[in-house]
């Protein structure tokens, strides 16, 4: 039916909390929306270092609440909303999913985490193995974290550093995607395992031979389309019980 409300993904772009604009992710998000037949709201949150944590995080959460409140006007089913993002955007999505659980403001149906940045220590094996020469470097990621977390207390806040959460029980079902040659590979895997350990339905997939940013590299690799299709299919699978 033409007027039937659609599910929605509230999306937070990557860029180390410092870089990028909505235009940078428009093409892959258009592709994802068409593949999944759901609405995507892409969020222009404020950037560090001028606007460090919690400002970008608060922008993202407040936008999610705005989407819920205005769902009818937007043509969105308010009971079929999820969050997602890539890299630093996936960090924001993971934090937002935790706050949604803690506050009870909204029952998110999914969280889509594409090579998420969840551990500010940058000390995993993949950070050492792929520190240079694979796009995103360890040094760059350390710098990005320093721009975003400007208070020492931020490093103990799970909304800022999701891996330090005492419990993830009750957060939205998760889709976690990683790339083989990415400094964030081990972060994503560790977070998926933490989600599973805490009883959260979690779908995990690592893309072999790929680097950071592969979700948005359709002009370079056919795997981008495959990742987008996989994500669309799995989002719809998580929405299926609702529909």
Which residues participate in catalysis according to the annotation?
87, 182, 212
Cβ–Cβ under 8 Å, residues 87 and 184: yes
The three-class DSSP label of residue 95 is helix
Name the strand (E) or helix (H) holding 175.
Answer: strand 174-181
Q: What share of the chain is helix, strand, coil (3-state, %, to 5)?
A: 45, 20, 35
Cβ–Cβ under 8 Å, residues 161 and 154: yes
Q: Return all residues near 166 (Cβ < 8 A) that are at least 6 apart.
A: 158
- What's the CA gap between 116 and 195, in Å, rounded? 13
- What's the CA gap between 143 and 21, in Å, rounded? 19
Cβ–Cβ under 8 Å, residues 150 and 157: no
DSSP code of residue 202: E
The three-class DSSP label of residue 125 is helix
Cβ–Cβ under 8 Å, residues 136 and 182: yes
- Structure tokens, 119: 């551990």
């Amino acid at each position: 039916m033409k007027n039937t409300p659609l599910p929605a993904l509230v999306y937070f772009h990557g860029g180390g909390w410092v870089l990028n604009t909505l235009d940078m992710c428009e093409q892959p998000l258009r592709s994802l929306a068409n593949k999944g037949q759901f609405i995507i709201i892409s969020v222009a949150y404020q950037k560090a270092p001028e606007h460090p944590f919690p400002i970008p995080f608060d922008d993202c959460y407040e936008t999610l609440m705005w989407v819920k409140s205005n769902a009818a006007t937007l043509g969105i089913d308010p009971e079929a909303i999820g969050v997602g993002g890539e890299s630093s955007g996936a960090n924001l999505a993971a934090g937002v999913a935790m706050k949604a659980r803690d506050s009870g403001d909204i029952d998110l149906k999914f969280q889509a985490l594409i090579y998420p940045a969840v551990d500010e220590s940058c000390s995993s094996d993949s950070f050492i193995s792929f520190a240079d020469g694979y796009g995103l470097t360890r040094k760059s990621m350390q710098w990005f974290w320093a721009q975003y977390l400007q208070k020492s207390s931020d490093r103990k806040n799970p909304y800022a550093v999701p891996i330090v959460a005492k419990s993830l029980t009750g957060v939205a079902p998760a889709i976690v995607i990683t790339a083989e040659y990415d400094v964030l590979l081990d972060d994503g895997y560790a977070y998926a395992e933490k989600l599973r350990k805490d009883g959260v339905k979690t779908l995990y997939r690592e893309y072999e031979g790929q680097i950071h940013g592969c979700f948005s590299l359709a002009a370079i690799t056919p795997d981008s389309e495959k990742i987008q299709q996989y994500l669309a299919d799995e989002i719809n699978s998580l929405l299926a019980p609702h529909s």
